[in-house]
Amino acid sequence: MANLKEVRVRISSTISTQQITKAMKLVSATKLRKAQSAIFQMRPYADKLNGVLKNLGDSVDDEKLSKYFREQTLDRVLLIVVSSDRGLCGGFNANVVKRTRTLLNNEYAELVAKKKVDLLFIGKKGFEMLKKFELPTNTEFMGTFGQLNADSGFAIGDYAMDKFLNGTYNRVEVVYNKFKNAATQIVSNEILLPVSIKKSAATKSVSNDYIFEPNKVEILEELIPRSIKTQLYRSLLDSFASEHGARMISMDKATDNAGEILKQLKLQYNRGRQAAITNEISEIVGGAAALNG
């Protein structure tokens, strides 16, 4: 009977866990719909703005503006690591951390040895998993996903641009999960600064013979920072949607697994109960036969 009691406790615990995972799945599904709508609306604007910027980049002759595009000798790098604040989302955070480690151990290995790679964390999980590198870290924006909007996203872009323009960093790179659909997230790393002016085949066909009003420099002074901040904000929206997609799928699988475990436990319980009843009947029959004998 003691064994049956343990099985009953496990059944009760599994049912409670299943209810929690099912509720988390529904919450993530609701948040995913909103996040998915936000990223799908942002992408066309961000892509078009980036395309215009690349067309204009190779014709910028103003010293201040050309700094955004100029490749420099790598001396100090800022890596923006975009993860989540909570777990239970499958390999979402592990994939970002793995890509970041690959960059640190390969492309930036020499700078890492000199402690010249700074890590800016957006999301607590990335910080928890990468702090053992003992590199300079910035956790000022770690709680951004608590209230993600254009202002909070642009604030990070302003910080990165200021540090790049004053020479603190020669490169700013962001590592994040790009949203494809609820079941698929593509881990990506993109160089935010300096702005690349390499054009794709589609971009090359676009004419860069623009007429500027009031003048080219004034327009680009507004356009370049906005484009950079928009690219970073798009990365945050991608990651936010990816997180909820990953958690929804993970919790769906966890709910199904809990159902399978329940089936096995109930079968085990019924078999144990049947064996106990059979044993009791055997004892009663045996006792009655002894009395009659």
Number of H-type helices and E-type strands within the chain? 8, 5
Q: How far apart are CA 177 and CA 240, in angstroms?
A: 9
**Fold category of 31-244 in CATH:** Pyruvate Kinase; Chain: A, domain 1 (3.40.1380)
Q: Closest Cα partner for 118 from 168, 177, 67, 68?
A: 168
pLDDT at 62: 65
Q: What angle do CA 180, 96, 257 make, to 5 degrees?
A: 70
Q: Is the peptide bond before 194 cis (omega within 30 degrees of 0)?
A: yes
* Residue 82 and residue 123 in contact, taking contact as beta carbons nearer than 8 Å: yes
Q: How far apart are CA 252 and CA 65, in angstroms?
A: 49
pLDDT at 253: 95
Given the residues 46, 78, 79, 89, select the one marked as catalytic: 89
pLDDT at 3: 83
* Secondary structure string (H, E, C) spanning 32-44: HHHHHHHHHHHHH
Catalytic annotation on 50? no
Q: What is the pTM of this model?
A: 0.85
pLDDT at 200: 52
What are the residue ranges spanned by the domains of the chain?
31-244
* Residue 83 and residue 100 in contact, taking contact as beta carbons nearer than 8 Å: no
Q: How far apart are CA 133 and CA 129, in angstroms?
A: 9
* Averages of pLDDT over each 10 residues, the chain, 293 residues: 81 94 94 92 88 70 75 91 93 95 94 94 94 90 91 95 93 96 93 77 52 75 90 95 95 95 92 85 79 71
Q: Closest Cα partner for 164 from 69, 60, 282?
A: 69
